[in-house]
Structure 1
Amino acid sequence: MTFVAGSLGLRHRLILAIAAISLLVPAIFAISTYELSRNYLLSQRERTVQHQAFADADFVRRKLESADADISAILTAAGAPADNTVVLKWRNRWYASSLERGRETVPEALRLKIASGGAATQRLHTAAGPVLAVGVHLPSVEAEFYELAPLSELEAILRLLSVVLIGGALLATAAGAGLGAWASRAVVVPLNRVAGTAAAIAAGRLDTRLPETRDPELATIVGSFNSMVDTLQQRIVRDARLAADVSHELRSPLTTLVASVDLLNARRADLQPRSRQALDLITADLDRFRRLLDDLLELARSDAGLDNGTQESFEVDVLLSHVLAEVGHEPELLTCDEPVRIRGDKARLSRLFRNLFENADRHGGGLTAVTVTRAEGDAVILVDDQGPGVPLQERERIFDRFATGRTGRGSSSGTGLGLALVAETATAHQGAVWCTDHPTGGARFVVRFPTALS
Structure 2
Amino acid sequence: MNRHSLRARLTLWYTVTLVVVLMLFAGDVLLVQQRLGLRRMDRELDTVEATLANVFREELRELDDPPTAAMEARNDIASLGPAIAILDRRGSPLAVQLNGLSLDELVPQGDRSPVRTVRAGGVAWRVHARAEQFGDVAATFVIARPLTDIAREQNEVREAVLVVIPLALLLAGLGGWWLASVGLRPVREMSRRAASIPLGGLEDLGAPPRDAELGQLARAFNGLVARLRSALQTQRQFMADASHELRTPVSVIRTAADVALSRDHREETEYREALAMTGAQARRLGRLVEDMLVLARADAGAYPLQPVDLYLSDVVEECRSLVDVLAAERGITVTSSGPRDVPVRGDEEL
Q: TM-score, normalised by structure 1?
A: 0.45
Question: What residue in structure 2 maps to residue 86 of structure 1?
Answer: 84
CA apart distance, 1:164:
3.9
Alignment partner of 1:243 is 2:239: yes
Alignment partner of 1:56 is 2:55: no
Alignment partner of 1:106 is 2:106: yes
CA apart distance, 1:156:
1.8
The answer (yes or no) to whether the contact 2:131–2:141 under 8 Å persists in 1 is: yes
Alignment partner of 1:122 is 2:116: yes
CA apart distance, 1:76:
4.0
Q: Aligned in 2, Cα 1:103/1:242: closer, same or farther, shift over 3 Å?
A: closer
The answer (yes or no) to whether the contact 1:95–1:102 under 8 Å persists in 2 is: no
The answer (yes or no) to whether the contact 2:70–2:94 under 8 Å persists in 1 is: no
- CA separation in 2, counterparts of 1:105 and 1:268? 138
The answer (yes or no) to whether the contact 1:56–1:80 under 8 Å persists in 2 is: no
- CA separation in 2, counterparts of 1:250 and 1:38? 94
Question: What residue in structure 1 maps to residue 144 of structure 2?
Answer: 148
Query: For 1:233-312, what aligned pairs fall within 5 Å after superposition?
Result: 233=229, 236-237=232-233, 239-241=235-237, 243-244=239-240, 246-247=242-243, 250-251=246-247, 254=250, 257-258=253-254, 261=257
Identity rate of aligned residues, in percent?
16
Match of 2:204 among 193, 202, 209: 209
Question: What residue in structure 2 maps to residue 96 of structure 1?
Answer: 96
- CA separation in 2, counterparts of 1:44 and 1:216? 53
**2:80 is paired with a residue of what secondary structure?**
coil
CA apart distance, 1:252:
7.0
TM-align CA RMSD: 4.9
CA apart distance, 1:157:
1.1
- CA separation in 1, counterparts of 2:259 and 2:34? 111
CA apart distance, 1:48:
0.6
CA apart distance, 1:171:
5.3
The answer (yes or no) to whether the contact 1:110–1:121 under 8 Å persists in 2 is: no
Choose 1 or 2 for highest CA Rg: 2
Question: What residue in structure 1 maps to residue 74 of structure 2?
Answer: 75
> What are structure 1's unaligned runs of at least 5 residues?
1-6, 114-119, 297-454
CA apart distance, 1:153:
0.5
Question: What residue in structure 1 maps to residue 322 of structure 2?
Answer: none
**1:132 is paired with a residue of what secondary structure?**
strand
CA apart distance, 1:130:
1.5
Q: Aligned in 2, Cα 1:136/1:234: closer, same or farther, shift over 3 Å?
A: closer
- CA separation in 2, counterparts of 1:247 and 1:110? 110
Match of 1:133 among 120, 123, 127: 127
The answer (yes or no) to whether the contact 1:110–1:122 under 8 Å persists in 2 is: no
